[in-house]
Structure 1
Amino acid sequence: MSTRTETTEPTARRRLPPEERKRQLVAIGLQELSTRPIHALSIDQVAQKAGISRGLLFRYFPTKQDYYVAVVGAAARRLLRAAVPDAADPTADQLRAVVHAFVSFVDRHGDNYQSFFHGGFGADPQIREIREHMKNTMVERTLAATGTEPSPTVRMLLRAWWSMVESLAIDRTTDPVFTVDDVVDRAIDALPIPSGATG
């Protein structure tokens, strides 16, 4: 049996339009950060995989933090695309569909979810803004799914509720005493507003 030595070859250099190059770099970052925390992210390795120089990468993202913010933003957009009700089935339980999709997303990504949204540069104002946008979007989807009239009080309660849902989902990845369906059931049971509430 022959023995083959694995080597890491740099990707062949290829000229791409700026926006396409940025999308490529962010996609590589999503792959890299799915297996390691931000402090272990190698900009040199990202550049090598993209087939560009380190200096060129920093033309698109001036600092490592700027790059991380772009990658976290892309991860948030992926989550929001996943956590939507089934528009093809208007008779379905829309709230359950949203919560189940969210919990399942966290469950699939485990520690990586924590790394993206709560680790590394998690205290950075831009990362906080991404998290706030994500939570506010989930609140709006909850209002729509339950037919609830929005008000400042209702929105505050739902923001706190989504923090609880996220915490349950994260804890399940490290201590799976509940199934994903259990987490969804308990979350919906704890919803602080009744369906159709007027706020």
Structure 2
Amino acid sequence: MTTAKRVRLAPEERRAQLIALGLQMLATRPLEELSVEELADQAGISRGLLFHYFNSKQEFHLAVATEAARHMLEVTAPDPDLPAEQRLVTSLGKMIDYVTENSDTYISLVRGAASGDDELRALFDATRSANANRILQSAPEFGVTPTPEVELAVHGWVAFAEEVIVRWLRAGQPGVTSREQLMQLLANALFALAGAANV
């Protein structure tokens, strides 16, 4: 590996560069294995200078995970111009495509929910809540009232969907079920859970 040539950047530009490099590394390894030494080498800075932008390795990991979560929510955002059912199916397709294209990053995010770091857990919980709230906003269009019971069921479904998608991906995808069948499975599970809670 070659060391990058040192280039002077404004503090906010350098911080953004380091986070972007961290995201690239996250595509091939778990979050906890992001190497500060390798990152500093790729950025062309000293390890000590890296800690000028992040107080600790944990803070750097949190910054990378936050950007990864933001990007995931951005690229999987539902299209508000679509009818409710098509919006849901399209969003599920976007999520499956994102996971397929960014499997290591996604698995790091999902598995991070079991992290011992309180800030990371809070980030993952907030990301799950954002996904659940997208669905709950559309609930009335499906004739479902977003009661506390329904909210609980939808939040549980988000965790279920994460696990199913990860297992599907690791099992070889079409050898187990097709992308379309997976989307249908997830949609059916969502309607079943929401319907059971909507009593």
User: Which TM class, normalised by the smaller chain length?
Assistant: 0.7 to 0.9
List gaps (5 residues or longer) in structure 1. 1-7
List gaps (5 residues or longer) in structure 2. none
Partner of 2:149: 153
Q: Report 1:160-171 matches (<5 A).
A: 160-171=156-167
Matched, 1:21 2:14: yes
- CA distance in 2 between counterparts of 1:111 and 1:46 reads 18
Do the aligned residues in 2 keep the contact of 1:95 with 1:146 (CA within 8 Å)?
Answer: no
Do the aligned residues in 2 keep the contact of 1:25 with 1:50 (CA within 8 Å)?
Answer: yes
Which segment is superposed worse, 156-165 or 96-105? Answer: 96-105
Shift of 1:180: 2.2
Amino acid at match of 1:52: I
- CA distance in 1 between counterparts of 2:92 and 2:43 reads 36
Structure-1-length-normalised TM-score: 0.85
Shift of 1:63: 1.4
Q: Report 1:119-130 matches (<5 A).
A: 119=112, 122-130=115-123
Do the aligned residues in 1 keep the contact of 2:113 with 2:120 (CA within 8 Å)?
Answer: no
User: Which of these residues, 48, 51, 59, is aligned with residue 58 of structure 1?
Assistant: 51
Identity across the alignment (%): 32
User: Which of these residues, 73, 76, 83, is aligned with residue 83 of structure 1?
Assistant: 76
Amino acid at match of 2:64: V
Q: Report 1:44-193 matches (<5 A).
A: 44-90=37-83, 93-119=86-112, 122-147=115-140, 148-175=144-171, 176=173, 177-191=176-190, 192-193=193-194
Shift of 1:179: 2.0
Do the aligned residues in 2 keep the contact of 1:29 with 1:71 (CA within 8 Å)?
Answer: yes
From the superposition, tell whether residues 109 and 46 of structure 1 become closer, same or farther in structure 2 (CA, over 3 Å): same
* SS of equivalent residue, structure 2 residue 74: helix
Shift of 1:24: 0.7
Partner of 1:5: none
Structure-2-length-normalised TM-score: 0.85
Do the aligned residues in 2 keep the contact of 1:103 with 1:166 (CA within 8 Å)?
Answer: no
- CA distance in 1 between counterparts of 2:194 and 2:170 reads 29
Structure (1 or 2) with the greater helix fraction: 2
